[in-house]
Amino acid sequence: MAPRKRKQGQKQTHSNITNGHAHSNGNGNNNNNNNNNNSNNKDSKDSNGNTHSHRDNNNQTPHDEFTGEVKEALEKLTNALPKNSKVEVRHPTLSRNPSVANYLRQSLFVNDVEVHDHKKHIPARTRRRVVLLLGIIIGMGLATVLMRQSKDAAYMEAFSHYFQDFDLASMVPSGMIPDEFIGNVSAMFRPEILTEEEFYPGEELREELGYKPKYPVTMIPGIVSTGLESWSTTNNSCSQKYFRKRMWGTTTMFKAVLLDKDCWISNLRLDPKTGLDPEGVRLRAAQGLEAADYFNLAAIGYDNNNMYLASYDWRLSFVNLENRDNYFSRLKSNLELSLKMTGEKTVLVAHSMGSNVMFYFFKWVESDKGGKGGPNWVNDHVHAFVNIAGPMLGVPKTLAAVLSGEVRDTAQLGVVSAYVLEKFFSRRERADLFRSWGGLSSMIPKGGNRIWGTIKGAPDDGTHDEEETVIKEKIAKSEETPGATTKKRYGEQSPTFGAMLAFAEGSNMKNHGMDESMGLLSKMAGDDFNAMLAKNYTVGASVTQKQMDKSTKDPASWTNPLEATLPNAPKMKIYCLYGVGKSTERSYTYNRVSDLVPQIFDQRPGNVSDETGQVPNIYIDTSVHDDKLGISYGVHQGDGDGTVPLMSTGYMCVDGWKKKLYNPAGVKVITREFIHRSSLSPVDIRGGKQTADHVDILGNYQVTKDLLTIVAGRDGDGLEEQIYSKIKEYSAKVDL
């Protein structure tokens, strides 16, 4: 009985054994028919006259030796069967693991020549990527073993977030895995049980102080906590194979970048003119509570009836969030429904970029140009706004990202995501990608030279955590590119932070303050980016009532608290909770490609030439660093939470919103700072209970306790101002 021929393009998933002898139909033909003239094969006829080929067992190939036991078992099985019988042998994992299937087919039924030819088709670049991938897997596996033996096993949840869809077999090209011993290793990165630490201090507050839900809670996450998943189904789109896969923050991102880079870029990059999805691509924010750290809220009685996660596509400008997803309309409806069902106003809990989104929402919902809720809507629907590590005045590293594609030490993107972007994309590719994300530009520093200083000085000059900087530099030295040297160009005095871009000697470029840096960005970024920025955002500051009356009505100002007022909500409270005492990117030393090497310039239409007649190719100069001055390989370190500098998290909270110009309704603002203290445990991947790191602050014990106190209606019990930094001193120097 002849074996069936598979359809063209169909993968081989099983092999046939007829009358005790193996036949491979890997290319639709019996292998024995291709080797009738081979001297090692002998022909014989059975009683029915059918001809069969027998391989000479005396000339075993390496594959025969390697699979000898398997073949011996097959021979014993087939010898016991009647003549002309047919047995289908199918490995139990073949249907889900094509890599293993391909290996078994090669080991059992393909000759050495075919195997050699197959290996020649695997490019060296792919092999290197696979070696890198396997190295990452082994390292994470060892870390996982240590974590499971530790009392800190509760923090496995954060680690496993990046590996929720991990399947090694589907990530490695066919033929690259020599056996099934790896298989699907996703389970080893997932915590098997939840420990009591996941619900601490929630359970303690519930049992000892009787904490229970009072106000409904709506959480607005930052970039790290918001997954983006593909909904593309277009046949001619490369993204169809990633349907319902998360393209940001999980191993699907690793897989796509390693093996399908162009497709990943086409999914993540937005149309530079419209700021929306390119044709044939649909990437949406993942919905649900999976990404939120809600264990402590659940510990005092919250569930999905009184707790809501308002995730969003952070790539979109805030205008496009409403245009494409009706995001703010949905949020408005949710808060209105919550008030109707519970009779209580909502506590809005925002982290990182989510705080910028909420400030925009306050202005949008009141305005006739937005939600048309009227001047009292926020006052009637919001009990409190908990602003956790919100970059209210922007982040300098956002400027670096859109200016030159630098993502050095970018916790705002997440450790894994930043690593992938830094290692697998050129600066040109990164800059183009970042500039297409209108949402990212919402965090360009605001206030210009008034807030961030001039090349002569800045309000927060001289601040950096020297001890931590030294530790970080010892680690960073092993990661720097060959040839990097240590240079001290500033004597014993730290350079001013006011020079947001301090150009190195020999670059033939002057130092730039924040205002001048925006001018340089305008020259380099092109017409599309400049048009998007002008349409959606402002970065200045209103200093008179006349200026504020005009700017606060402009939707482009609704992300800028220096040009738009707080809502008319005198009964609402704002809690600013943020970390201090951790080295944070504040300004940079830049350089330009030497005139002695070929220049790479951005020549797209709309660029404005500088004095050389060309736009310079600039980059952060990693050869410049000084531990004592807090300069870490071209990055000047100041005080903050590791991602957002103190001037951005603290100024509006302790000073700006105390002024009637920016807070005419007199909304009460309570600022609570938390000193960063790193965990001593090497396996405490979330930083420990006293961390004040920008991302890990969500696991800080005291921050969590403050949050539960607010949502339980106990916020009148001791939640008063708590200041450890010099933010008030710096604020007094701001020129407003």
Closest CA to 352 of 586, 648, 636, 585: 648
Going through 533-615 in order, the beta strands assigned E by DSSP cover 573-580, 584-592
Going through 143-281 in order, the beta strands assigned E by DSSP cover 217-220, 228-230
CA-based end-to-end distance of the chain: 90
Going through 295-370 in order, the beta strands assigned E by DSSP cover 307-309, 346-351
Q: State the Cα–Cα distance between residues 256 and 263, nearest whole angstrom.
A: 7
Report yes or no: 249 and 162 within 8 Å, Cβ to Cβ.
yes
Closest CA to 651 of 488, 505, 446: 446
Q: State the Cα–Cα distance between residues 461 and 729, nearest whole angstrom.
A: 11
Tokens of 529: 């980016």
Q: State the Cα–Cα distance between residues 463 and 584, nearest whole angstrom.
A: 10
Closest CA to 99 of 24, 19, 183: 183
Closest CA to 373 of 381, 364, 365: 365
Report yes or no: 574 and 667 within 8 Å, Cβ to Cβ.
yes
Question: Which residues make beta-bridge pairs with 501?
Answer: 512, 588
CA-to-CA separations, 689 to 247, 465, 472, in angstroms, rounded: 30, 20, 21
Q: State the Cα–Cα distance between residues 359 and 385, nearest whole angstrom.
A: 10
Report yes or no: 243 and 230 within 8 Å, Cβ to Cβ.
yes
Catalytic residue among 161, 381, 512, 694: 694
Q: State the Cα–Cα distance between residues 81 and 91, nearest whole angstrom.
A: 20
Catalytic residue among 465, 627, 641, 693: 641
Catalytic residue among 15, 239, 338, 352: 352
What residues contact 439, with CB distance under 8 A and at least 6 apart?
A: 313, 314, 315, 316, 317, 318, 321, 353
Tokens of 152: 């800190």
Q: State the Cα–Cα distance between residues 601 and 279, nearest whole angstrom.
A: 29
DSSP letter (8 states) at residue 197: G
CA-to-CA separations, 427 to 126, 472, 610, 634, in angstroms, rounded: 22, 23, 20, 16
Q: Is the dihedral of CA 568, 570, 572, 574 positive or negative?
A: positive
Tokens of 497: 């932070």
Tokens of 435: 């500039």
Q: State the Cα–Cα distance between residues 443 and 542, nearest whole angstrom.
A: 18
What residues contact 55, with CB distance under 8 A and at least 6 apart?
A: 40, 41
Q: State the Cα–Cα distance between residues 445 and 500, nearest whole angstrom.
A: 10
The amino acid present at 736, given as its one-letter code, is: L
Residue reference for tokens 């952070």: 314
How many residues are recorded in the chain? 736
The amino acid present at 616, given as its one-letter code, is: P
Q: In b/e form, how buried is each residue of 487-505, taking b as 16+ CB within 10 angstroms?
A: beebeeebbbbbbbbbbbe
Phi-psi map region of 668: left, alpha, beta (phi>0 left; psi -120 to 50 alpha) = beta
Q: State the Cα–Cα distance between residues 152 and 529, nearest whole angstrom.
A: 45
Active-site residue flag, 694:
yes
What residues contact 486, with CB distance under 8 A and at least 6 apart?
A: 623, 625, 626
List active site positions.
352, 641, 694
